[in-house]
Structure 1
Amino acid sequence: MTKYVLLGLNARGELQQFDLLALNEDEAQREAAQRARQADVQVVEVCAARAGKTGFSRQHMSFARMFRRARFDLSLFVYELLALLRAGLALTEALETLDERRRQNQPGAAEEKGHYVLSELIRLMQQGKSFSVSLAAHPDCFSALFVAMVAASEQTGGMTQALERYLQYDGQVSLVRQKIIAASLYPVMLLITGMVVAFFLLWFLAPRFGHVYEGMTHAELPLMSQWLISFGLFVSDHTLASLVCLTTTFAATVVLSMRPAVQQRCLVLLGRIAWIGAMLKLMQLARFYRSLGMLLQGGVALLPSLTMTRELLPLPLQAGLTRSMLSIAQGKKMSESLEHESLMTSVALRLLRAGERNGQIAGMLEQAAMFHEREITQWVDRFARLIEPVLMLIMGLGIGSIVVLLYLPIFDLAGSLQ
């Protein structure tokens, strides 16, 4: 018996996975069709699971996903598709136009499997699959939020409006993200520069001071100076190994920082700092409000929208959201359920209550997200202005300490001669 994996799309636009056992591929296809009818899902793909290679496959997928995301710009794709649809082209014709332009601009890119998915989207749609099902077959390129928006627009007939809403959503989220990246770029450069200068002092100056102090019998080196010079001599004698170790450490830090588990752990550690943890929670809630408002405005039902946005929250808040969904399913108001699980700020709570009274929940959630995003932007600006001088002070103290420890025996010798 061979293990197979069935990927199916349900009526709410969610991609589900089922495990199958079959003797061959034909039997797996029959079993998949039967399981799809039982679960009321539409078959997207049936493939064999590779036993014994899970670790390698996941690692390979993570690297492939990283490069694929770097090459596939979803916001640019949505913008170009929206422009063609506004011009009067049919959906398939618009995709074919984008694919032809890509082939002309990047000859030979069609052979690079997975780097671009337009050809695959066209093939799936020509087989009779809907646009949302075709998008769901490529979760590395198209987010679940975007697929759900498209699936809802296919039922209401508002494809262009859904694309416009997604572009607006992506623009607001990207604005906050770019602000955070721009604010953290200068401190990161300061840290890298400080590390390079410190390494140069240890590699170049410390060994030379060590050779000078070897001939000075009257000078007694302080303990810290002895350690520093010994470490500098070691680095100088093993320059290549030190550079390899430093480069490996830097590369490992970059790779680990891209892993979701490490990112979650870092967020948990930062969250324990009161003035940073409160702002991190506000960032997560603002993204949750904006994503939820976009889905609701696009025609997705409340509970499926909450399910799809649950992954945007940290694990403790995800558990609270699950309990809130149970309360909402039992008939409790959305504002009361979310407030009970600490998923509402005071501003968002008042706006959501007003939205429940006038039927504008989606608009009020977006207003709450916009309000908090402005607050986050101001906090990031203040934090950047504070952290930059603090980092410069730490760098100055570190480099100054190295220089003082190197020159301290000379100062002691000059004092003894006087």
Structure 2
Amino acid sequence: MSTKVVITGLGATTPLGGDVASTWDGLLSGRTNAQVLTDEAFADLPARIAAPAAVDPGEVLSRVEARKLDRYEQFAMVAAREAWKDSGLADADVPGERIAVSLGSGIGGLISMLNVYDTLRTKGPRHVTPYTIPMIMPNGGAAWVGLDIGARASVQTPVAACASGNEAIRHGLDLIRSGKADVAVVGGAEAAIHPLPMAAFGAMMALSRRNDDPQHASRPFDKARDGFLLGEGGAVMVLESAEHAERRGARVYAEVAGAGASADGHHIVQPDPEGKGNAFAMREALTNARLAPHEVIHINAHATSTPAGDVAEAVGIRAVFGEAAQNVVVTAPKGALGHLLGAAGVAESIATVLALYHRVVPPTINLDNLDDEVGLDVAVEPRKLPEGQLAAINNSFGFGGHNLVIAFRTV
């Protein structure tokens, strides 16, 4: 019998708010922070809209600390500190050798790399900060968080594009189940609202071009969707073995019941239109969690608002759940949050956990006309969940065909 793993701490800083409470309130109320980017550097881009973080992380961290960190690392630190405090472990005496960190990012310190290169080119090498390498290395966020909490069991950085955050959760789950750690701080962070990645995503026709209507740009599952809305932020969970959490009297949000992973093996950026890869990951998550499809009552969908991706996910869901799919309440948070890339999986896993904890599913905003090819029960208003033991899954898929699915269960 594998070790039961539970969630005891949550932290987030997103386009909807600077913490978990404000982010959750934003999801329930259907808010969005989508806006036109007015800096002249974005003026000639085909897509000039995004969803910036509601609270600048530089305002939360000290000035000295913020100067050492890339923006994505700042998001990681803010979210991790909230989660660590929320868990109560800040006041617990846990040996560092029993604490692990797994914190992913799809792109890492890209903004610092570009900015420092501009400094080198215009001012010369003497003006390059000595913190440049720690700011641009992909493992920087995980490393700083590990130092902050004294983690010594393991500090890792999964990189799986937009599935990086859920890969971090899976890694933390495995570390605790294997007995290599009692506590795992898992998460994701991303900061890529910059002309270069936006021009690149735009060249791929991946971004919405509703420049005159940003608040309605991200439209998961809607017939009129035309691409995703880039967001930014960080999200972190604290996982513990149930025995460890019980021993210290911790508050528990939910159980991480299982995880599943797969690769599409189809295309570097396009999803398998038959949904075979995402279906495989969902089945593996259910098997790993010892759940039957009919036991799942809620799915937090990856649904980025791209024409191909949303339908491919729906095809996979219907293949896995069959007739039971009609009894599953689906939501797609990217309508409100935008796409947080490497932070998306954990931010949306937090939403999944809170849906079980509070027994209410947040709505999918901007869904006016459900695509005929979706064929799922997608919530457009907050939807109450019944009493009793419940299970849910969170889907997270990334460029390269990475599919990571996490299953959660009430406790």
Place the TM-score, normalised by the shorter chain, in its bin. Answer: under 0.3
Structure with the higher strand share, 1 or 2: 2
Higher relative contact order (CA 8 A, sep 6+): 2
Q: Which structure: greater helix fraction? A: 1
What TM-score does the superposition give when structure 1 sets the normalisation length? Answer: 0.26
